[in-house]
């Protein structure tokens, strides 16, 4: 199934370097993840191509006009129809949205894509949101100057899950939050030299004993997750993903250092 993301942004140049550098560029260059960037200013009337105005009721800042956004969205839908794609959900990056997580990224990574709207200023005219937006997504409890960084974050997360993008096909399976790790945080990682700044690599990682190594990694994942994200431990417990050995380790305090 073809995957196409259309991005509506007043700053399309922000996406140019992202799409052409780093390991995820493979997904974009090969067309596994097709990305098209659109500027609503191109759909605004008049010599000044105005896309914003003062808010009714007063207050600071400006609000993005509904009509240029609607016209831009209509043009995108026509392009997608011509390409034979299924109708795409319209996503707005907003503090009002649900926080983006790994499960959502996995869903988007196997979808036909979406239309991503990057708001600016004080936001969008609510009438456009009511009429056209299907999903609102947030990166967390903070505010950005616009939705571009959030859109890039989603595109990057989706791209790295595509087959062949990462050098090791199983690499993303060891990421934090991945179901293959039962939704836990990842364990610590080490490389050469064996001793750095008087700190040695944990002996078990030098043993060559794969079963012991995996046992150690499991315990470290549990330890770190319990310390930093106890909510993920509880979620794994409720889903039946923790073994009796896991529970015993947690009951002991899981305080063993790496």
Indicate if 160 belongs to the active site.
yes
Distances, alpha carbon 125 to alpha carbons 69, 81, 85, 120, 132, in Å = 10, 26, 28, 11, 11
Indicate if 122 belongs to the active site.
yes
Indicate if 95 belongs to the active site.
yes
Q: Which of 160, 217, 218, 223 is catalytic?
A: 160
Q: Which of 34, 55, 77, 122 is catalytic?
A: 122
Q: Which of 71, 156, 175, 186 is catalytic?
A: 175
Q: Which of 95, 179, 200, 230 is catalytic?
A: 95
Task: Report, as residue numbers or ranges, the catalytic residues.
Answer: 95, 122, 160, 175
């Amino acid at each position: 199934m073809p995957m196409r993301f259309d991005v509506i942004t007043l700053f399309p140049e922000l996406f140019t370097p992202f799409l052409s550098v780093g390991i995820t560029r493979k997904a974009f260059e090969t067309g596994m993840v097709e990305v098209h960037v659109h500027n609503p200013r191109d759909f605004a009337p008049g010599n000044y191509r105005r896309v914003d105005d003062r808010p009714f009721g007063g207050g600071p800042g400006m609000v993005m006009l509904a009509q240029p956004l609607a016209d831009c969205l209509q043009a995108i839908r026509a392009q997608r129809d011509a390409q034979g794609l299924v109708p795409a959900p319209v996503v707005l990056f907003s503090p009002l949205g649900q926080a983006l997580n790994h499960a959502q990224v996995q869903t988007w990574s196997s979808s036909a894509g979406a239309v991503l709207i990057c708001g600016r200023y004080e936001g969008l005219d609510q009438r456009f949101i009511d009429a056209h937006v299907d999903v609102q997504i947030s990166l967390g409890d903070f505010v950005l100057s616009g939705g571009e960084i959030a859109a890039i974050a989603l595109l990057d997360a989706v791209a790295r899950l595509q087959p062949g993008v990462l050098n090791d096909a199983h690499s993303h399976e060891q990421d934090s939050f991945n179901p293959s790790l039962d939704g836990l945080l990842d364990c610590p990682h080490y490389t050469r030299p064996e001793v750095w700044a008087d700190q040695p690599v944990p002996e078990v990682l030098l043993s060559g004993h794969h079963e012991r190594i995996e046992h150690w990694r499991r315990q470290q994942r549990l330890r770190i997750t319990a310390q930093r994200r106890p909510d993920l431990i509880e979620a794994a417990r409720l889903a039946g993903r923790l073994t009796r050995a896991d529970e015993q380790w947690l009951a002991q305090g899981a305080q063993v250092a790496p």
